[in-house]
Amino acid sequence: MGKRIFMYYLTSIVGNSQKLDGGAMFGNVPKVVWSKWIKPDESNRILLSCRALLIQNSTKNVLLETGIGAFFNPSLKERYGVDESKHVLLESLHHQGLSEEDIDIIILSHLHFDHAGGLLSAWSDNESPTLLFPNAKYLVGKVAWERACYPHPRDKASFIPKLNELLEASGRLVIIDSDRCGLLDDNYRFIFTNGHTPGLMHTVIRAGDDEGSIIFASDLIPGTNWVHLPVSMGYDRSPELLIDEKKEMLELAIKQNGRLFYTHDPHIALSRIVQEENGKFIAVDEMRDFKRLEV
């Protein structure tokens, strides 16, 4: 029997960047340590990417997340360090020969503003943001959707007012309650974690036999500095649970010879994982933003 080959083109799509407090991003890691990894600004904030993953084959353009976008008003842009006034994600898609109308499916790991804000048009003083990607189905996990509809006071500020209503009104919202979706082929599956936020949905793409899988890490492991097990964020709802879930994902990546895709790492988009003799997990074979990676 011949070798099975699954062909996709993967492209990291750069969106608007943000700046968040370094102490919040590194949880219980002392500043004297984390500031050597990423240098903070005068307000103690660190630069973070909001990166999406475009997956293309002969029939579909699938986009994993949309980043923070440009929907914030000027005061919130200042608070969260969103320097760009334009919708960078749309420009990045344009550089790949695509418009928002060309996207068939958008998979959202959760609905925090820095992962779903790019669904909205850029801020205007005269009108409310509108929903973009008019031909796309919006895939959201059931538990994550419920959390966005009924947030806890601890994370209410992480969600976008009215976004849920816009998604429902579109008629194109698809709630995911299993590890598969009929809109996608059998090389896609989902795994769910709860340590960062309830029902965080990670897309796993089975690539060619020599490539292993691609795992969309989202906020479980926002970048290579968070691969080390003890490192978690102050934003996580349950750091100990998150660390257990992170260990499972890292072990899965090693078992499948897979690679993690990072949404927030300012420099690295993709890496493989190895575990050293002392048990520490580290990122290797790191790749910066890339165009049309064949898998």
| Confidence at residue 2, expressed as pLDDT on a 0 to 100 scale | 47
| Confidence at residue 1, expressed as pLDDT on a 0 to 100 scale | 41
Residue 264 CB burial class (10 angstroms; 0-12, 13-18, ≥19): buried
Alpha carbon distance 197, 233 (integer Å): 11
Alpha carbon distance 187, 8 (integer Å): 10
Alpha carbon distance 263, 223 (integer Å): 7
Three-class secondary structure of residue 294 per DSSP: strand
For 9-294, CATH number out of 4.10.410.60, 3.60.15.10, 3.90.1170.50, 3.40.50.150 equals 3.60.15.10
Alpha carbon distance 119, 64 (integer Å): 12
Q: Over the stretch 77-118, which tens digit does the pLDDT of each residue have?
A: 999 999 888 999 999 999 999 999 999 999 999 999 999 999
Stated pTM of the model: 0.96
| Confidence at residue 5, expressed as pLDDT on a 0 to 100 scale | 57
What are 94-101's contacts with CB under 8 Å, separation 24+?
A: 96/11, 96/13, 96/54, 96/291, 98/54, 98/61, 100/132, 100/133, 100/134, 101/133, 101/134, 101/135
| Confidence at residue 212, expressed as pLDDT on a 0 to 100 scale | 87
Parts of the chain with a pLDDT under 50 = 1-2
| Confidence at residue 3, expressed as pLDDT on a 0 to 100 scale | 53
Residue 146 CB burial class (10 angstroms; 0-12, 13-18, ≥19): middle
Alpha carbon distance 3, 36 (integer Å): 46
Domain boundaries, the chain: 9-294
Three-class secondary structure of residue 46 per DSSP: strand
Alpha carbon distance 70, 76 (integer Å): 10
| Confidence at residue 209, expressed as pLDDT on a 0 to 100 scale | 62
| Confidence at residue 55, expressed as pLDDT on a 0 to 100 scale | 98
3-state helix, strand, coil in the chain (%, to 5): 25, 25, 50
Task: Assess contact for 137 and 174: CB atoms under 8 A.
Answer: yes
| Confidence at residue 6, expressed as pLDDT on a 0 to 100 scale | 61
